Chains A and B, each alone.
Chain A
Amino acid sequence: MVKFENVSKVYSPGTYAVRSLNLEIAKGELVVLVGPSGCGKTTTLKMVNRLIEPTMGRIFINGQDIRYVNPAKLRRQIGYVIQQIGLFPHMTIAQNVGLVLRLLNVPKKERDKRVDALLEMVGFDPKIYRNRYPRELSGGQQQRIGVLRALAADPEIILMDEPFGALDPITREQLQDELKKLQNSLHKTIIFVTHDMDEAIKLADRIVVMREGEIVQVGTPEELLRNPANDFIREFIGKKRFLRSPEEVLVAEIMVEDPVTGHPEVGAAEAFQRMQRHQVNSMLVVDERGILKGILTLRGVQKGIQSGERKKAGELMEPVTETVTPHETVLAAARYMAKSKYGLLPVVDERGILKGLLTNASLINTLVDVLWPAEEIDPKGEDKNGSNSIELMGNLS
């Protein structure tokens, strides 16, 4: 659909804004260009609609070298959304959305119909909104209109340059979700620029990581997270986000470091209060050297109180059968956890000193976080992650 062939852009002699870029984007694909500021994302994007002309190389759309297409004509067939939104303040919403159609000489009647249909598609009541002006809309609404404007002439290709970058986080996520939904039904070829890795992972079919004008790695979000090509990408994506299998993550990375503890001499009533205060249903009993002695459950403490005698934690606690060391893997921890009857797993070192705690819930949460950053698991298993989630469950049981 869109093909870059050895494309370079030089603004000032000697420095490449984009260097020998080769990239092929398939029809219906949402490709996200991501990378630090100044790495050439915008330049790459704007060369597609000839707002910027390459210094070297060629760009093809549907096999046609775009150098030979009239720029204005070319742009009318390519949707364009920018961070600053750029709605025309003197035109109504309908006029803004219908502008490309007007440039294409689509008759007014047809234009109006199309505009209304588009407005309805994203939940704007045309009767209310078509005659409003951009400044009467919130930032999020304005950018929704900005996206509609790009869709109006039903272009095959849409270019988006940090379209949600100026919006507040909540609105940004809403618009990301809406874009995903739109894309699921429209299957446009979208080139999307961002420097937000979360956004890239969330939206992209394929991510193109750029640095200093060159492509560092291209791949699906999963591929990138699983096999980052080098330290730059690792760094850029952020460490904890990496897809690592449970046998690579150590207990020390994910354990709770300050679990609720108490000395064997602590009285039942105080132990009970302590658990209540921290809203937990057990307390780890630790002696003065920090060595784990046992676990006092809420039930054990209640028994002690009911007995009416003054009992201490040391007497009421139960022995801990399953523990894990900080250097073991999460996979191992999951196995011990399965055998633990308390739904938790104290972390102790070789000398038996308590270092932390894994709970059932935190173990699962962390596993999910480590494996699928910013991505919900589709219960129907329809998305690419479906098979992985089944694997994980297998490991846990």
Chain B
Amino acid sequence: MEVTLSSLWATYLERSAKFWLLTREHFLLLVVLPVTMAAAVAIPLGILASKQRWIQVTSLAFANLMQTIPSLALLAILIALGAGIGNKPAIIALFLYSLLPILRNTYTGIKNVDNALLEAARGMGMTATQILIMVELPLAFPVIMAGIRTAAVICVGLATLAAFVGGGGLGDFIVTGLGMVNNNLTLLGAIPAAVMALLLDYILGKLEYWLTPRGLRI
């Protein structure tokens, strides 16, 4: 089946309402939601990991394990464990995948803070909490943001697989297109997903730059 710009355009016009619905679902439900949840868990965990060796060992081992399980297998396992089908297993899987980059970066970001600064901070009479809030987190911020960015980009790609378990998102077009041997439809899902990944990477990169304290910008 021939794919041209006009055939693609025609396919889009046919399903524009569904297209925008799926795009929104893909972005909000399968990227923003799991990454936000992962950040909410992984940042505090990363902070604790940087202070407590056993937390570091166990949490990083867990996150690493999640990352190594093949994505479809993870979905299957989640369903088998009773997560049902649809959005839910997909969101859980994406959440689990996002943990590692954010956790790892939070941990390294804090661990990499120059010892001399910590020494100065303690010597000046800062408490551990003050050091965390006023020194460690601001300095680790760019690294943590980079972790979130990595997680978001990974999610955009992996989320296309959610359609296999009825999770929705742009993967819907891809899976249906593949089933019907309709390349136009497949591309109508694949191209926007790719664009979304690139765009998100770019925007988060910019955001990371603007939110980085001025004295740290390179």
Contacts and interface: CB of A to CB of B under 8 A. Distances in A.
B127 A82 contact: no
A100 B124 contact: yes
B18 interface: no
Contact of A75 (B114, B123, B138, B213): B123
A88 interface: yes
B138 A84 contact: no
Interface string A1-32: 00000000000000000000000000000000
A74 B123 CA distance: 9
Contacts of A49: 123
A345 B134 CA distance: 69
A229 interface: no
Interface stretch (A89-97, A263-271, A382-390): A89-97
A82 B119 contact: yes
Contacts of A86: 114, 116-117, 119-121
B190 interface: no
Contacts of B139: 89-90
Given A84-B116, A85-B116, A90 B124 contact: no
Contacts of B116: 82, 84-86
Given A88-B117, A89-B139, A133 B124 contact: no
A80 interface: yes
A121 interface: no
A92 B214 CA distance: 9
A135 interface: yes
A133 B214 contact: yes
Given A88-B135, A135-B215, A75 B122 contact: yes
Nearest to A92: B215
A106 interface: no
Contact of B123 (A82, A89, A92, A135): A82
B215 A103 contact: no
Contact of B215 (A73, A77, A133): A133
A188 to B, nearest CB: 16
B125 interface: yes
Contacts of A72: 125-127
A108 to B, nearest CB: 15
Given A72-B127, A103-B130, A91 B122 contact: no
Contacts of A85: 116, 120
Dominant secondary structure of chain B at its interface with chain A: helix
B216 A73 contact: no
Interface residues of B, number: 21
Contacts of A87: 120
A374 interface: no
A157 to B, nearest CB: 12
A99 B215 contact: no
B120 to A, nearest CB: 3
A100 B120 CA distance: 11
Contacts of B123: 49, 51, 75, 80, 82, 159
Contacts of B126: 72, 103
Contacts of A246: none
A136 to B, nearest CB: 8
A85 B121 CA distance: 11
Q: Most chain-B CB neighbours within 10 Å: which of A86, A134, A149?
A: A86
16 contacts: A71-B125, A72-B126, A72-B127, A75-B122, A80-B123, A85-B120, A86-B114, A86-B119, A86-B120, A87-B120, A88-B120, A89-B215, A90-B139, A90-B213, A90-B216, A149-B124
Question: Can you list the 5 inter-chain pairs with the closest CB atoms, starting with the nearest?
Answer: A86-B120, A133-B215, A84-B116, A76-B125, A75-B125
Given A72-B127, A75-B125, A88-B134, 14 more contacts: A51-B119, A80-B123, A84-B114, A84-B120, A85-B116, A86-B121, A88-B120, A88-B121, A89-B216, A90-B216, A91-B213, A92-B215, A99-B124, A133-B214
Interface of B: 114, 116-117, 119-127, 130, 134-135, 138-139, 213-216
